[in-house]
């Protein structure tokens, strides 16, 4: 296969490009999807720009909902499997990192 035609994978991109892409994504989805994939992605997604403010609910734009609400978004709780992963794995890792930074 010719190197010029080989597909670019996520891990091939420099950190700066990944940060630009990741900043466009929802922090909860980003952390849920990429935490634990590999050391490099863990370091990026556990950065404080993604972990300082977490809202553990989903937002659906009201234009996607038949009824109109006063708020531009309807919120609903995350699925239990997602919450379990956050409570058991992701939040402890974030807490551990913040405690190490304070030491």
pLDDT digits (tens, 9 = 90+) for 8-61: 888 899 999 999 999 998 888 899 899 999 999 999 999 988 888 887 766 665
Token reading at 67? 């009824």
62 vs 93 pLDDT, higher one? 93
Token reading at 7? 């597909």
Q: Helix (H, G, I), strand (E, B), or coil: what is residue 41?
A: helix
pLDDT digits (tens, 9 = 90+) for 64-97: 555 555 555 566 667 788 788 888 888 888 877 7
Domain extent listing, the chain: 10-58+78-101
């Amino acid at each position: 296969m010719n190197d010029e035609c080989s597909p670019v994978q996520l891990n091939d991109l420099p950190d700066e490009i990944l940060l630009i892409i990741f900043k466009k994504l929802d922090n909860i989805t980003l952390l849920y999807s990429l935490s634990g994939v590999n050391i490099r992605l863990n370091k990026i997604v556990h950065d404080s720009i993604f972990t300082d403010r977490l809202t553990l609910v989903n937002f659906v734009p009201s234009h996607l909902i038949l009824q109109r609400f006063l708020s531009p978004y309807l919120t609903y709780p995350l699925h239990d499997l997602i919450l379990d992963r956050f409570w058991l794995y992701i939040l402890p890792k974030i807490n551990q990192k913040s405690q190490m930074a304070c030491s």
